[in-house]
Structure 1
Amino acid sequence: ALARISSVRLLRCCRVSTVIDASVAVEGTSEVRHLQQGFNQAARALAESHRLLQSRINEATAELARKNQQLEVASQAKTRLLAAASHDLRQPLHALTLFSDGLANGETDPVKLQRIGHIRECVDSLDRLFSELLNLSQLDAGVLQPQWIDFPLDRLFEEISRNFRPVAEQQGLRLVVRKTDLWVRCDYVMLSRILNNLVSNSLRHTIEGGVLVGARRRGRGVRIDVIDTGVGIATHHQVRVFEEFYQVEPTGRQAARGARGMGLGLATVQRLAELLNTRVELSSKLHKGTCVRVMVRSAPPALPAPVVPPAVAAIEEEESLANMRILVIDDERTILEGLTVVLSNWGAEVLPAQTRAEALALADTWAQPPDMVISDLLLQGGDNGLDVIGALERHPRGIGAGTARLLVTGETKPDRLREVASAGIAVLYKPVSPRVLRQAIQAQRAAAAQMVGA
């Protein structure tokens, strides 16, 4: 009977959770005591094992938390470093862009024009690299939100063909962009960035043959293919090429041509695709080429827009800035001089200012407000272009609804990008090509005139 009672106690103790020490009193016959002692030893060993396991779990959890914190700190440091480096390097590059255009204006010497062309090629190359950084910073800041519209895909395809055909021909490659009558519902700018990055990447890594861009309907969606005959991507690299800063080392003729970027193009593609709630698929064979597919929503075709005669379109694009008065605010003397040269060549009257005080001093003397204000975002002494524009709006003789506003900045810090996005003022990111600057001026001028008319 005593043995049966002790066995019941033993079974009850076995049901006790392993997170606490369990033991039984040693009593009864020698056989029962021996059994009870064995149980107590097993319980102590089990409790010790549990304490050791819990200790290791706590250590692993603490180590994981520490590494996560290190990764977060490293990520924030990377963002700050890229933003600071990008801003500081964009300033002289923006000035170089403006001065190269000023040099080309009215120049007829073929040798000088060729040299200026080489300068522009270098500027364009740097501009592409900085654009990749800017795209990444905008995504990190969360300031990009899709603007859904229906548009004919062929419009975007024609733009890609126009932009990249000269690049392909210069490298001895073919770029084939197949015409399509499909319409899609998407963000035009984001899809344009995705396809531009994919085509640029394909051309960079293709030595012979070329690149094909096409689209076909797939169910309720449209699949866009970018196919190249390039060097291909090894299987063990394919899962990582969409990571930031991950690059596959170029070899052979590809390395000799200097085909190397920053490892951000495909990372940007992936991030933009996520914003568009779509997916990007990649298939590739080493030395055979690569195919990247992007799925987008299809849309029903709309009525064709009225056709603008080419002559009228050219006149509108090259609309003169004669008699237009533009207040330009930038604390970098070289950029201020470059903008003055470019805008003056277009016929505008330029009012230059390096500081808030100089801008307000001009407001004290002008007979009427300027037609437009172009301001850098970050000015001397921690001043802010948005605040200066606000001060001009409050000035008794300052700017009103009839004055167009445009910000130009090399800033890429996420908090600054959010600040700019919430201001409701058009913004250009340095370096700004003269063509883009002119288009922005005309667009903001038209918007301001429409606001006054309303």
Structure 2
Amino acid sequence: MDAESYERELIGFALAQAAAAAKLALVGVLILVAVTWHDVGAWGVAAWGVSAAGTLLLRNRLIARPTDLLAQGRPAPQARRVLWVSSLVLSAVLASLPAAGLPHMETEVGLLVTLFFCCWGAAGMSSLGIVPRLYTSYLGVMLGGVALGWARDFTTSLSPAIMGGLLMYWLVLSAFGHGFSRRVAEGIAIRAENAQLVKQLSAANAAKTRFIMTASHDLRQPLHAIGLLGGVLARATSAEDIHRAREALSTALEGLQQLFSAILDLSRMDSGTLRPDLRYVPIAPLVARLDIEYRALCLEGGRRWECRAETAHVRTDLALLERVLRNLLDNALKHGGDGGVCLALSTPSGQVMLEVSDTGPGIPVEERERVFDEFYRSRDVTSAGMGLGLSIVQRLARLLHAELRMEFVDPVRRTGTRVMLVLPMAQPSDEQAVEPEVALPDLHGLRVLILDDEAAVLDATRALLEQWGCVVATCRSGSEVAGAVQRLGAPHVALTDYRLSPTENGLAALEALRAEQPEMGCVIVTGESDPAIRQRLADEGLPVLEKPVDPEELRAVLGLFRAMDD
């Protein structure tokens, strides 16, 4: 809660309490009129009663307007002034009775009036104690009027003791008022925090529901297409029909894999299992590589392409940064109309700024927050897409400690979109080592044991590995491992799914085999996002591939084991 909102809450609480206490105060006025009527005189007491009741009613009318303004989010200073002035005027009017009337009262009546005002002052803490200085002043005026009345009464020797007691009472209640103010302030802060948490939880629940509904819809589309294409393939009679169906099936599977990968990326980022590997790296080579690739794509599509780059170093995860830039460039190509696309690297004011811009219709200002939501697509977008690209970009930018900005390319016409990624500049470091590209070796003869409880996954993986020249044996549980090894011979590497069943996992199923053959490699395939499981896999020090597995990534990992075996 910001300072202004906090101030509104405090003053609003005090005003509400003051309004609620007015009825009780009117009852107190009537009681004092009845008690002092005989000793002070009818006219004097009646005049005081009318003025006190009128002040209470007028005060309630005065604080009603500021209370409404505070509820509308207006600033609090005016309400604070109304509270201060009305409270001090009320205390002065109330204190006029003992100040003027105590010398005319019997001692017993005077003591009763003093006790009544002490209780009245203590009750005022509930409405004014939230503002300690105001409460101290209000109480001082009230008790000061009582003390003045006793000081004017020369007929009793109790006056000095009563005035001393009133002073002590004022000091004690003032101290209690400060403690009361702190407790109420803490309560208001906790209430505001709870309200914010409830709001966030409601928004998160709504976002989760929207995410599930949209993801279900988007997953259903390629699955529906795959089902239909399966029927086409089953009934195809010519080579041309089979070729067209295979191409369409490949496109649908590619879309399904992209959607799954995007959803898994979001899950990993939200669960904290994706951690950036921050290093000091030059950024110009990355921009040069993207320049070559996207220049060709733009030329092929008849689009203009521009790339400007300066030399700069940053501390970042280069792979994650590349994903951010690729998502932004892909968005610019899809939704940027038929105009140009620009990638720029500049170093303004000691910062590194990466810009991706297009000359399309632009993103309206009112939609710039929502475009980062999962599956959100602007109402002006007609091109295909899942609506996950910018959501992934925003999360990756946070991981990389980068600032994300968005603006119009042409602010006058409000067209074109420029997305800027700002990172702090870093000095070149000797820590960076350029990793050479790894050429995939021939996998012919590599003995691979595959462990997965899904028959379809086993068949597909086996077919792929045998296509690469591997010798493969498959099994679906730990009880089948020994038989598979007997058929295969000593495996060079075991490829296992982590979760085989509710009671068995791949690590446990291969535990005995790994103990017997410590030279055997082991690769874990998983879609788990549970931080505890991810940590356990990291502690094992084994290669982990994320589902859905990219075939080239799988081949690269198996190639490393072949290189170690050679």
Change (3 A) 1:210 1:122: farther
**1:375 maps to which residue?**
496
Shift of 1:227: 1.4
Whole-angstrom distance in 1 between the partners of 2:216 and 2:508: 24
CA contact (8 A) 1:147 1:186 kept: yes
Change (3 A) 1:232 1:147: same
Correspondence 1:345 to 2:467 = yes
Write the deviation string for residues 70-107 of structure 1: whole angstroms up to 9, x where unpaired: 4454566678x599969x99xx99x99xx9xxxxxxxx
**2:521 maps to which residue?**
404
Write the deviation string for residues 136-191 of structure 1: whole angstroms up to 9, x where unpaired: 11111011222111223233224434654565455433444446543332111221
Whole-angstrom distance in 2 between the partners of 1:40 and 1:423: 80
Shift of 1:217: 1.8
Write the deviation string for residues 195-241 of structure 1: whole angstroms up to 9, x where unpaired: 11111111110221232212122233221111112221122222432
**Match 1:35 to one of 44, 48, 56:** 48
Structure number having the greater helix percentage: 2
Shift of 1:69: 4.6
**1:193 maps to which residue?**
323
Write the deviation string for residues 2-51 of structure 1: whole angstroms up to 9, x where unpaired: xxxxxxxxxxxxxxx8486543522233343343365368659989999x
Change (3 A) 1:362 1:147: same
Whole-angstrom distance in 2 between the partners of 1:151 and 1:44: 72
In the TM superposition, 1:97-136 aligns within 5 A as 116-136=246-266
Change (3 A) 1:31 1:361: farther
Whole-angstrom distance in 1 between the partners of 2:198 and 2:424: 43
Write the deviation string for residues 94-136 of structure 1: whole angstroms up to 9, x where unpaired: x99xx9xxxxxxxxx9996676454433333333332321221
CA contact (8 A) 1:178 1:213 kept: yes
In the TM superposition, 1:272-287 aligns within 5 A as 272-284=396-408, 285=410
Correspondence 1:226 to 2:356 = yes
| Aligned-pair identity (%) | 27
CA contact (8 A) 1:228 1:290 kept: yes
**2:506 maps to which residue?**
385
Whole-angstrom distance in 2 between the partners of 1:297 and 1:84: 36
Whole-angstrom distance in 2 between the partners of 1:225 and 1:346: 41
Whole-angstrom distance in 1 between the partners of 2:481 and 2:472: 12
Change (3 A) 1:173 1:426: farther
Q: Secondary structure at the match of 1:432?
A: coil
| Higher RCO (CA < 8 A, seq sep 6+) | 1
Correspondence 1:294 to 2:421 = yes
**2:5 maps to which residue?**
none
Structure 1 gaps, min length 5: 1-16, 100-108
Write the deviation string for residues 366-403 of structure 1: whole angstroms up to 9, x where unpaired: 653x2212122332345323433445435xx3x42x32
For 2:558, the aligned partner's letter is I
CA contact (8 A) 2:449 2:485 kept: no
TM-score relative to the length of structure 2: 0.59
Write the deviation string for residues 264-315 of structure 1: whole angstroms up to 9, x where unpaired: 222222222222222011112567311111122334446897897xxxx6xx
Whole-angstrom distance in 2 between the partners of 1:204 and 1:389: 46
Change (3 A) 1:444 1:73: farther
For 1:36, the aligned partner's letter is G
**1:442 maps to which residue?**
559
CA contact (8 A) 2:375 2:386 kept: no
Q: Secondary structure at the match of 1:379?
A: strand
In the TM superposition, 1:234-253 aligns within 5 A as 234-250=364-380
Write the deviation string for residues 221-262 of structure 1: whole angstroms up to 9, x where unpaired: 2211111122211222224322333320235xxx2xx33322
CA contact (8 A) 2:357 2:419 kept: yes
Whole-angstrom distance in 1 between the partners of 2:359 and 2:195: 46
Structure 2 gaps, min length 5: 1-16, 72-126, 128-187, 231-238
Q: Secondary structure at the match of 1:241?
A: helix
Whole-angstrom distance in 2 between the partners of 1:148 and 1:140: 19
Write the deviation string for residues 387-432 of structure 1: whole angstroms up to 9, x where unpaired: 33445435xx3x42x3222222344567765665565432222332
Q: Secondary structure at the match of 2:372?
A: coil
Whole-angstrom distance in 2 between the partners of 1:235 and 1:424: 47
**1:259 maps to which residue?**
384
**1:5 maps to which residue?**
none
Q: Secondary structure at the match of 1:425?
A: coil
- The alignment's C-alpha RMSD in Å is 4.5
Q: Secondary structure at the match of 1:259?
A: coil
**Match 2:332 to one of 188, 196, 202:** 202
